[in-house]
Amino acid sequence: MRNRNILFKTLLLLGLSLAGGIEARAQSVILPPTAVPNTPPAAAAQAPATESTPPSLGAGSPFQWGIISLHPHLFYRLLYGDGLQSAPGQQLKTTINSISLGVLANIGTHWTLDYTPTQTYYSNDAFKDTLDHSVRLLGGTTYENWSFNLSQTYTSTFTPLIETGQQTGEDNYGTMASAGYHLNDKVQLDTNLAYQARFTSIFPDSRETTIGERAHYRIAPDVDTSVSLDYGWVNMSEGVDMTYTRPGVQVNWKAADKTTVNLEAGYETRRFDTPGAENLNSPTFGAGIQFQPFPTTSLSFNANKGVAVSYFTNQVTKNTGWTVSLQQRLLRHYFLSAGYSGQKSSYVSTDPNVTVNRDDRNYGLNVRLSTVFFQRASVALLYQNTHNKSDNAGYGFTSSQIGVEIGYQF
């Protein structure tokens, strides 16, 4: 039973990374709100508690019908920002008011469904007021040595993006399914299927499907190794379709009670469906290190390198990024989180008849100080600074944002 629980938790986290990783490609200039956790109770109960992060809000719910419990959540944020682009080269100041009223449903112990609409108002008329939507369904179960996991997401947003240099409307649909089989204490086999569709108002639409196979071998109680092979294809509404293969190796090592290390390396070959186009060969990697020197302090470092479909016609981006972050509890009731990140994005043409000349380097600093009161309410002060340097006129900018947010969750 213990092995099945561990397998369920492992595949659940893997599914979250696959489903969330595709959505994270678009870098928004505006500081994202704090996400409402929607991990199923069966998996959340096994997650280790830490003193460096705020406690979960709304333990228990007054809205319970059989196996369904509802957790309404309210969020309000006031931001003031400068350097925000309504169009490439147009950097403006604005106040941003965001209000959301959503509900998280726990369905039994293995399923959660969250729906959150967010109304956003800009004081500057150059920006369009928006009503965004977010839907997340997540679930999983086990049967004997098998484990199954499924997630479905939908987001509708209209926010300034670094890549497009303007407020960009898009709808994203993401589906992830995985099945794992635990052969014994050392060997585990996983199969994963991911689908992501992105529809925008002024840029080409894309549909991407990925099939992955992974074989794990646990060489020691605290060391898990694996080899993987991903195959994917991308269909574009305009421009060049493409396929890719990506073999890789992974190592997950819990070096000590205070340190966890995750490493991944691979090599991607991307082929473009147009005459005369050369393959794009690129090494890929991922690295994550988490260190908790004290119960109230957590430090982490993450780095990655990969290829993503660009918003622009006949282009992909080669991205290399890293993030350093700190989580610290202060005076028992306050929680500080801070992070500094950097990313280099090189734009590559997928059509030999199209010339592309753009490289971006962006850096971001974000700081959040929060506290929880009355067990269900939270308040936070936040600051973010983003700087993007681009060799393409109109896409370089510097933006600072400062604000406050208040949340309540049943």
Does residue 335 register a pLDDT over 70?
yes
Predicted TM-score of the model (pTM) = 0.87
DSSP-derived 3-state class of residue 56: coil
Q: Closest Cα to residue 258, out of 41, 58, 51? A: 51
Give me the pLDDT at residue 7, please.
37
pLDDT at 201: 84
- Residue 5 has φ and ψ, to the nearest 5°, of -65, -45
Q: What pLDDT, on the 0 to 100 scale, is given for residue 393? A: 87
- Domain covering 2-409 in this structure, CATH number: 2.40.160
Q: Distances from the Cα of 57 to the Cαs of 43, 47, 108, 198, in angstroms?
A: 17, 16, 19, 32
How far does CA 345 lie from the centroid of its chain?
18
Identify the pLDDT of residue 12.
38
In the block, which residue shows the tokens 């850096």?
Answer: 363
Q: Which two tokens stand for residue 226?
A: 């694996």
pLDDT digits (tens, 9 = 90+) for 62-85: 788 889 999 999 999 999 999 999
Rounded mean pLDDT of the chain? 89
Q: Give the number of C-alpha atoms closer than 13 A to the C-alpha of residue 261, restricted to the C-beta side.
A: 8
Report for 46-50, 57-61, 275-279: range of highest mean pLDDT: 275-279
CA separation, residue 135 to residues 30, 35, 144, 369 (Å): 20, 12, 31, 27
The confidence score (pLDDT) of residue 375 equals 85
What confidence score (pLDDT) does residue 64 get?
86
- Lowest-pLDDT range, 214-223, 250-259, 360-369? 250-259
Q: Cα–Cα distance between 152 and 368 in angstroms, integer?
A: 29
Report residue 17: phi and psi, to 5°.
-70, -35
Q: Which amino acid is it at 273?
A: D
* pLDDT exceeds 90 at position 340: yes
Burial label for 270, CB within 10 Å (0-12, 13-18, 19+), is buried
Question: How far is CA 397 from each of CA 94, 277, 349, 360, rounded to the nearest angstrom?
Answer: 15, 33, 24, 11
Q: Which residues, including other chains, have CB under 8 Å from residue 110's CB and lie 6 or more apart?
A: 40, 42, 139, 140, 141
- What would the pLDDT profile of 117-146 be if each residue is shown by its tens digit? 999 999 999 999 999 999 999 999 999 999
**What whole-number distance in Å separates Cα of residue 234 and Cα of residue 209?**
7
From CA 50, how far away is CA 67, in angstroms rounded?
28
Phi then psi dihedrals of residue 10, to 5 deg: -65, -45
Residue 190, token pair as written in the block: 């996983």
What the block records as the tokens of 157 is 């947003």
